[in-house]
């Protein structure tokens, strides 16, 4: 992030603008929404700027900017429609302590102006580091359509009521009150009775929350999907938004953790096969400790919480301590991996069933019904198969599997750094970790990427770009 986003206080402070043409007008339309004291320097100002000056909305100085003109200015916009003049006025303002923006000159500007969605006092700023203004405008248009114009009224009245709401205990009690107001009682009151009906709604809501019983502790076992935050379910997003504590495994991507509330406590309870791990007993203890404190806990698991995630043990821990829980399923790593190669897990002419297997369990390499799996046309999605590849290969060949059976390994399924390796059972690397696959990988036995299957079925081991 090259530009740090802040909201700068400009009420009653000087902001200067050099230039009197269309470029200056575009900036002034935005600046005039603020309470800043605006001074424009322009020898030949456009009629619109002259009208704003006549209406008392800004001060117009009908000459080029000089030394001393930006003293005490908090911001300066160089909008002269002339590169040399922009450099001159920007240098004057910078020497006098103002933060300077040269319009359409990202490199020489001390700050940039984002695209803004204005629901005063709610303001949404959208920046792209100057790389994609068209994208910023598209996001702005989308937000403009989504955010009701009454949102500003609710925010203003809510701000005035905030001292009254401090009667509620700090933390979740207040958050629940404000959530009920902004997403329920407030919009209803505004629709039904206009602005006059909002304050009585606030009073009634506060009385109800003041006598309400505290929300009971709860643990949500949430499937985070394979890593792409866009694959999170809406229910998972809501759970993260409400969580006081998020206990997550090591496969949860930073982009997904970013979706948790800023105030939430994030606890890394990672496990790694054959490596440093948080024990299951310690994870169980963490869940109980935070829930006993009255927290809304999210136990965030990669993929789907019900697949190879020790979910039963954690549920039994909750039951043993009388802690309420719920399960929010997620998109499995198997679904994401098979989607990445353009195939389906089942096909009427190929296989009518599919197995989800683990490469190793608590006792070591996991044993399965290898004889059945070795039959022609069988398909399996094998989790935790990186270090057990030689074991899996040996068991299948021992039980008669065709050495030319396709095998596809998908690393970091659905993520930007996703990799796909296609091979045959006979050529399967004995240790995929040593073969350069360091991220979470899923082995698809009996499936080749559709592109390979259609164009080059004779290929042995190859990395596939899809």
Note the helical H segments in 101-212: 133-146, 151-165, 172-180, 186-193, 198-211
Widest CA span in the chain: 92
Active site annotation includes 387: no
- At 96, is the secondary structure helix, strand, or coil? coil
User: How wide is the angle at C-alpha 327 spanned by C-alphas 324 and 329, nearest 5°?
Assistant: 170
Which among 69, 86, 244, 249 is annotated as catalytic?
Answer: 249
Instruction: For the chain, give percent helix, strand, coil, nearest 5.
Output: 35, 20, 45
CB-CB neighbours of 95 under 10 Å? 12
CB 276 within 8 A of CB 306: no
How many CA within 13 A on the CB side of residue 224? 28
Which among 82, 104, 118, 271 is annotated as catalytic?
Answer: 271
| Nearest one of 275, 266, 279, 263 to 224, comparing CA atoms | 266
Q: What is the dihedral of CA 456, 462, 463, 466, to 10 degrees?
A: 10
| Nearest one of 436, 391, 253 to 333, comparing CA atoms | 253
Active site annotation includes 241: no
Dihedral angle sign, alpha carbons of residues 377, 383, 385, 391: negative
Query: What's the rounded Cα separation, in Å, for the pair 407 and 149?
Result: 55
Report the catalytic residues: 249, 271
């Amino acid at each position: 992030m090259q530009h740090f986003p802040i909201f700068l206080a400009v009420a009653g402070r000087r902001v200067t603008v050099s230039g009197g043409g269309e470029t200056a007008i575009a900036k002034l339309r935005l600046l005039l929404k603020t309470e800043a004291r605006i001074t424009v320097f322009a020898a030949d100002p456009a009629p619109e700027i002259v009208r704003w000056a006549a209406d008392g909305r800004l001060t117009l100085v009908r000459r080029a900017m000089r030394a001393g003109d930006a003293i005490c200015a908090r911001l300066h916009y160089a909008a002269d429609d002339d590169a040399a003049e922009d450099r001159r006025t920007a240098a004057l303002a910078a020497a006098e302590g103002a933060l300077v923006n040269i319009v359409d000159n990202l490199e020489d500007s001390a700050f940039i102006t984002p695209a803004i969605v204005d629901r005063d006092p709610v303001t949404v700023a959208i920046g792209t580091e100057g790389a994609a203004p068209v994208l910023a405008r598209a996001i702005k248009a989308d937000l403009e359509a989504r955010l009701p114009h009454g949102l500003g009224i609710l925010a203003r009245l809510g701000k005035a009521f905030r001292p009254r709401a401090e009667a509620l205990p700090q933390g979740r009690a207040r958050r629940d009150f404000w959530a009920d107001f902004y997403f329920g009682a407030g919009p209803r009151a505004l629709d039904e009775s206009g602005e006059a009906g909002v304050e009585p709604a606030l009073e009634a809501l506060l009385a109800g929350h003041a006598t309400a019983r505290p929300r009971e502790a709860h643990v949500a076992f949430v499937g985070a999907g394979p890593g792409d935050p866009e694959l999170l379910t809406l229910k998972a997003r809501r759970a993260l938004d409400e969580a006081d504590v998020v206990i997550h495994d090591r496969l949860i991507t930073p982009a997904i953790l970013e979706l948790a509330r800023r105030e939430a406590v994030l606890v890394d309870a990672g496990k790694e096969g054959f490596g440093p791990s948080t024990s299951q007993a310690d994870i169980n203890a963490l869940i109980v400790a935070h829930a006993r404190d009255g927290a809304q806990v999210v136990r965030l698991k990669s993929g789907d919480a019900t697949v190879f995630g020790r979910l039963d043990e954690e549920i039994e821990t909750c039951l043993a301590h009388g802690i309420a829980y719920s399960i929010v399923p997620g998109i499995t790593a198997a679904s994401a991996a098979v989607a990445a190669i353009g195939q389906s897990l089942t096909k009427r002419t190929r296989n009518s069933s599919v197995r989800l297997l683990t490469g190793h369990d608590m006792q070591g390499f996991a044993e399965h019904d290898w004889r059945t799996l070795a039959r022609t046309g069988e398909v399996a999605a094998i989790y935790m198969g990186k270090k057990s590849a030689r074991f899996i290969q040996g068991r299948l060949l021992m039980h008669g599997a065709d050495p030319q059976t396709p095998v596809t390994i998908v690393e970091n399924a659905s993520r930007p750094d996703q990799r796909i390796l296609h091979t045959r059972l006979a050529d399967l690397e004995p240790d995929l970790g040593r073969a350069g696959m360091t991220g979470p990988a899923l082995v698809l036995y009996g499936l080749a990427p559709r592109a390979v299957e259609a164009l080059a079925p004779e290929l042995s081991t190859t990395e596939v770009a899809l």
